[in-house]
Amino acid sequence: MRTSHKIRETKETQIELNLSLDGGAVSIDTGIGFFNHMLTALAFYAGWGLELKVHGDLEVDGHHTVEDTGIVLGMALKEALGDRKGIRRFGSAYVPMDEALCFTALDFSNRPFLVFDADMPQPMIGEYDACLTVEFMRAVAMNAGLTLHQKCFYGANAHHITEGLFKSLGLAVKDAVRQEGTGVVSTKGVL
């Protein structure tokens, strides 16, 4: 079973997460409506089962909630993948969202890195600070051991751009974690 259960508590956030890479129920409650929407889309397009409950210091702002959720999700991805034997490893996807076109390419290389190129035309999307998208993606990449490249080629609406990035991430992850064999996909023989 490619699953993980994580609990993480700090002075800023309390997070409980259940992840299944092979599907299941999706239930998201972070206290930030738009972020719930993005995580639900991510889980749907990745084909995950994802149950997530976050209580964060939203009286400050959404930063700790979003970043810490990325940390825990990245840790869960790493655990659920185990030694990464048999997975395709690489994935990529384009997603058009109305006027915006977004792209994700990734490698479950066990070498974390983020390249993020997506300007946000509006600073806020509901109660969600648009600049937190890069913080979430960085936290996931660093904690999952994921090389992650994301780009928005063009777009005028921060909602559409952010949604395109989350959906393309889901599609690329689904492709990359697909099991195709029994060995590690690396000329070195190990990731």
pLDDT tens for 148-187 read 999 999 999 999 999 999 999 999 999 999 999 887 777 7
* 49 neighbors 42 (Cβ within 8 angstroms): no
What pLDDT is attached to residue 184? 79
**Does 58 fall in a domain?**
yes
Residue 184 is assigned to a structural domain of this protein: no
Is 135 within a domain?
Answer: yes
What pLDDT score does 181 carry?
Answer: 84
Structure tokens given for 181: 């064999």
Task: Give me the percent of the chain exceeding a pLDDT of 90.
Answer: 93
pLDDT of residue 183: 78
- Kindly state the percentage of the chain with pLDDT values over 70: 99
H-helix segments, the chain: 33-46, 63-81, 132-144, 158-176
Q: What is the predicted pLDDT for the residue at 171?
A: 98
| pTM score, whole prediction | 0.95
Q: What is the mean pLDDT of residues 26-37?
A: 98
pLDDT at 188 over 80: no
Q: Is residue 183 part of a domain?
A: no
Which residues constitute the domain of residue 133? 3-176
Residue 151 lies in a domain: yes
pLDDT at 190 over 80: no
Q: Provide the token pair at 167.
A: 């959906």
160 falls within a domain: yes
**Residue 40, CA distances (Å) to 11, 25, 28, 49, 68 in order:** 26, 11, 7, 10, 17
φ, ψ dihedrals at 91, nearest 5°: -155, 155
Strands 147-154 and 113-117: parallel
Answer yes or no: are the C-beta atoms of 120 and 162 closer than 8 Å: yes
Let me know if residue 188 belongs to a domain.
no
Rounded to whole angstroms, the Cα distance separating 36 from 101 reads 22
Task: Give the CATH number, domain containing residue 96.
Answer: 3.30.230.40
In a domain, 143, yes or no: yes
- How many domains are contained in the chain? 1
